[in-house]
Amino acid sequence: MREKMHLLKESALCHKKRTAVIGLACAALMVLITVRLGSGGGKAGDPGGAQMAGQADHIATVNAEKPQTGSIEKTTGTSGTVEASDVVYVYAKASGDVTSVNVSAGQMVEAGQLLCTIDTEQVESAKNTMDSAAISLSEASGTRSRMQLLYEAGAISDQEWEQYQNAEKTAKLSYESAKLNYTKQVEYSSITSPISGKIETFDLDVYDHVNQQDTICVISGEGDKRVSFYVTERVIKNLSQGDGVTIEKNGSSYDGTITDVSAIAEEENGLFKVKAELPAADALSAGTAVRITVVSEKAEQVMTVPVDAVYYDGGVGQVYVYENGTVHKKEVEVGLYDSQLAEIKSGLSGDEMVISTWSSQLYEGSTVRLQGQDGEVSESMSGEGTETAGESGAAGGAGPEARESSAAGGENPELKENGGV
């Protein structure tokens, strides 16, 4: 019995020892867990600490540069029509039937070359008048010769002699007038080219009847061509004589110079007419429709930044600048811009390092790494622990107004506050 009681006591003592050991082990485990939680920077229990740790492990690498001084041009495209600098309209100077046609549209002609002939109704009449005047002149001259002998013999008075002289003079004037009229009628019947050039239009056939002042053909000179086009009031304000234009047709490009800028809008369309010379455009025929590009707006010697550096937040322009590893947001006034540059009218001094690449880490006070800082970005920096800015950046070349700040993504607390994604 004593031996049995002894065994029971030993068993209880061992149980107490095991319980104490287990308790000490549990206590030690709890202490260890508490210590690790306390020293882990909030990795397991502090969401804010976890976010900071994540951000520290994902520092964005960005490009930045100082604003530059440069010029920006914005172009506008429109359509126009090619014209010859020297255009002549040939008209019929008398009525009649076409008796011969010597040329056709598209043909090159020389000055004085016969184009067609017209059987004018006045030619025969003019010839008869001229022949009659010639006879009258001959008779007056013969009479004056006979009367001269009588006058020299004293058979007629001075007054009578003067009358015979005047009669001859009158007959001569009548003949000269009739001859001139006949020459004109013959000229009217033979239509010749007044200049050397290309026949743009010619639509006559033999036996066609033409009236006086009817158009026979249109001839464009061999000199330089020009193009005429229309622009709006906004564009006309920035155009002046001497400005260059670019003309395109069928893949070929030609340079022109503005020679005439209208100050009055056309009544039918409200647009302003502009003309430009084309010194080397022999391949373009008059009447050809072409594509024209002009500089509609320009800003010269202004402060510029890459267009991808500009964002808009609620209609207000802004850029992000790099300063000792920290991002700062600056509001700016944006002027003219193209696919590469944007004009900054105010908001920057010119000494800032403007960040030109997009990153979800771009917000006030965020930490970023400058591209090329401490040497090129290493593989470890560009790997899992580093975000290279611009991989999912704003659309390059788009206008700044097309890139609101909300495009930066949900990682930016400022953007969330401003209604960003």
What digits encode the pLDDT tens for the residues 78-108? 999 988 777 889 998 888 889 899 999 888 8
Average pLDDT over all residues of the chain: 77
- 62, 66, 359 from 369: Cα distances, Å: 6, 16, 11
Considering the chain, what percentage of its residues have pLDDT values greater than 70? 74
**For residue 336, what are its two tokens?**
């003219």
Q: Is 12 helix (H, G, I), strand (E, B) or coil?
A: helix
For the stretch 254-272, pLDDT in tens is 889 999 999 899 888 899 9
Q: Which helix (H) or strand (E) holds 363?
A: none
Reported as a pLDDT band with limits 50, 70 and 90, residue 418 is very low
Residues 208/97, Cβ–Cβ less than 8 Å: yes
**What is d(CA 262, CA 236) in angstroms, rounded to the nearest whole number?**
8
pLDDT, average across residues 11-15:
51
Please state whether 336 falls in left (phi above 0), alpha (psi between -120 and 50) or beta.
beta
**What is d(CA 208, CA 279) in angstroms, rounded to the nearest whole number?**
38
For the stretch 315-332, pLDDT in tens is 899 999 999 999 999 999
Q: Is 158 helix (H, G, I), strand (E, B) or coil?
A: helix
Q: Looking at residue 400, what is its pLDDT?
A: 53
Reported as a pLDDT band with limits 50, 70 and 90, residue 414 is very low
Residues 391/398, Cβ–Cβ less than 8 Å: no
- 80, 178, 231, 247, 263 from 272: Cα distances, Å: 12, 51, 5, 18, 7
Q: Looking at residue 361, what is its pLDDT?
A: 82
**For residue 239, what are its two tokens?**
């155009």
**For residue 146, what are its two tokens?**
């006979």
**What is d(CA 395, CA 306) in angstroms, rounded to the nearest whole number?**
12
**What is d(CA 105, CA 116) in angstroms, rounded to the nearest whole number?**
13
**What is d(CA 3, CA 276) in angstroms, rounded to the nearest whole number?**
128
Q: Looking at residue 27, what is its pLDDT?
A: 57
Neighbours of 218 (CB within 10 A): 19
